[in-house]
Structure 1
């Protein structure tokens, strides 16, 4: 599975990116948010969501892991496909989407082309708790400061790879960091494992 592609920007439009890596040009579908981050750059690292169906194989690319995570949350909602999720991320910022879901602002969500009343209601219903509990939000907000980001992300990845849900991992790591704010990766993982 591809996590990210790092390479040279060959072509960039508000909807699509051609990224060359080792002589291979990857056609990657992007949101307007990602386009704005990559504009005027020659090189880029793009986080990938690999969309695979019997008749189609596409790469969706994101400038940040946070945006990709939000995209994955959006497509987990019944009735929201990859195109609707990309349209949402092009119409609203990640923060605006989170705020609209948390404040149950159906009108704001419905203002996105292709999102109807039922889809907007389902999105609020299915994602409100996940966003409150930290999924799809920047871990620096959750764990207090970007200096801890790498340590927290590494611990989170390790625990998820051990088979725990992101929700359970986030909760355990928050508890560990409350008790030991300067804990190292190994300490965070060990303490979190004892809690789960």
Structure 2
């Protein structure tokens, strides 16, 4: 298993990263929290979890070990796959997710796209004794220049996460009208709660 990859960040979008290490480019599926942590950086070290299926070999990348641990815990819950776990980690930063699980806050989980009441209850029941509140990862978001570029990147990320393009554009435009200086990851997080 791959523990981590350290190298040059060749491409970075809110849902995927390509990191080059020793002449090999690794495609990693990432959450918005990881995107925030690496935004604007030319290189870095990313923790990896590999999923091998019959039809694909997928790499998921995480800025911190705590995020990877939460991903593994989430995917251990019946009905929560890797993309759903990534959606949860994109909507709730690791420290906030730990608080949500500890406080048994079902409403915060059902606010995430694709998480219904039954899945939220399963997550809370299965993970209540496995996570404890602690100070973990907090990634500060930096404002992006150029409203149009932010809107375009946010819509592209939402479409890749499975939302309709028209609904994504409407949500992003509404968010940017109210707060034009938001960074792309903040726009996407807000849109995830609206859609």
TM-fit CA distance, 1:139: 8.2
- SS, match of residue 44 in structure 2: strand
CA distance in 1, matches of 2:58, 2:89: 17
Instruction: Confirm or deny: 8 A CA contact 2:94 2:136 kept in the other structure.
Output: no
Q: Which has the larger share of helix?
A: 1
Question: Which stretches of structure 1, 4 residues or more, deviate above 6 A after TM superposition?
Answer: none
Instruction: Confirm or deny: 8 A CA contact 2:46 2:62 kept in the other structure.
Output: yes
- SS, match of residue 25 in structure 1: strand
Pairwise CA RMSD: 1.6
CA distance in 2, matches of 1:21, 1:98: 32
CA distance in 2, matches of 1:139, 1:84: 22
CA distance in 1, matches of 2:60, 2:135: 20
Count of aligned pairs: 137
Superposed CA deviations along residues 10-42 of structure 1, whole A, max 9, x for unmatched, are 000000000000110000010000000000100
With normalisation by structure 1, the TM-score equals: 0.67
Superposed CA deviations along residues 23-64 of structure 1, whole A, max 9, x for unmatched, are 100000100000000001001100000011111110000011
Instruction: Confirm or deny: 8 A CA contact 1:11 1:19 kept in the other structure.
Output: yes
Give the structure with higher Rg (CA). 1
Taking a change above 3 Å as real, the CA distance of residues 83 and 95 of structure 1, as seen in their structure-2 partners, is same
Correspondence list, 1:80-119, <5 A: 80-119=80-119
Greater RCO structure (CA 8 Å; 6+ sep) = 2
Correspondence list, 1:46-195, <5 A: 46-132=46-132
Superposed CA deviations along residues 125-152 of structure 1, whole A, max 9, x for unmatched, are 00001113x8xx6689xxxxxxxxxxxx
Residue equivalent to 1:25: 25
With normalisation by structure 2, the TM-score equals: 0.68
Correspondence list, 1:8-47, <5 A: 8-47=8-47
Q: Which runs of 5+ in 2 are unaligned?
A: 138-195
